[in-house]
């Protein structure tokens, strides 16, 4: 097991006459290290650390839809669905045909009981990928909940 706080944390040798560089994992300009650490923290459910890493990832690459998408995931897990919506909308603006982002947006709307918006997001996901299983499943569940059962 590797501690995500230690990833890429080895010090680089200092050039003669210069102070030592910051560890790669702590350098906001080292976007790939931030991205990898954010994804690892997401996998390990270390939401607070992932939130900071995604913030720095977005700061370095504001046009990266994946950064906004993953920030939305983190915010959702931290119980901030309204902020997650904002992150997902930013991601969709950058990658309007990404079914995963539309499906995540739909889940977020469903959590907020905004069912019409959730259905629209799932429909957008299915337009992008007609076989997107999470969008198909959630859309079907919502439709079944809305339809009164036959007696």
**pLDDT for 148:** 66
104 has pLDDT over 80: yes
Of 44, 57, 98, the closest CA to residue 88 belongs to 98
pTM of the model: 0.76
Q: What is the mean pLDDT of residues 130-138?
A: 96
- Average pLDDT over the chain reads 83
Q: In 3-state terms, what secondary structure has residue 54?
A: helix
Tens digit of pLDDT for each residue in 4-60? 444 443 333 333 333 334 444 455 457 788 889 999 999 999 999 999 999 999 998
**Residue 92, pLDDT above cutoff 80:** yes
What pLDDT, on a 0 to 100 scale, did the predictor assign at position 23? 43
Query: Who wins on pLDDT, 58 or 146?
Result: 58
Question: What is the tens place of the pLDDT at every residue in 69-80?
Answer: 999 999 999 999
CB 102 within 8 A of CB 128: yes
Q: Which residue has the tokens 């982002």?
A: 101
Check residues 121 and 151 and name the one with the higher pLDDT.
121
Q: How far apart, in Å, are the Cα atoms of 75 and each of 56, 79, 87?
A: 15, 6, 8
């Amino acid at each position: 097991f590797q501690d995500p706080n230690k990833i890429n944390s080895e010090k680089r040798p200092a050039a003669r006459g210069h102070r030592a560089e910051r560890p790669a994992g702590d350098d906001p300009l080292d976007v790939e290290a931030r991205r990898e650490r954010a994804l690892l923290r997401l996998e390990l459910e270390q939401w607070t650390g992932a939130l900071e890493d995604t913030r720095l990832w977005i700061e370095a690459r504001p046009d990266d839809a994946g950064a906004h998408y993953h920030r939305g995931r983190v915010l959702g897990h931290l119980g901030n669905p309204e902020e997650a919506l904002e992150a997902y909308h930013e991601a969709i603006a950058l990658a309007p045909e990404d079914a995963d982002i539309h499906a995540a947006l739909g889940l977020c709307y469903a959590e907020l009981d905004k069912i019409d918006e959730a259905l629209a997001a799932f429909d957008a996901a299915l337009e992008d990928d007609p076989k997107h299983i999470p969008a198909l499943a959630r859309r079907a569940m919502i439709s079944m909940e809305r339809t009164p059962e036959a007696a």
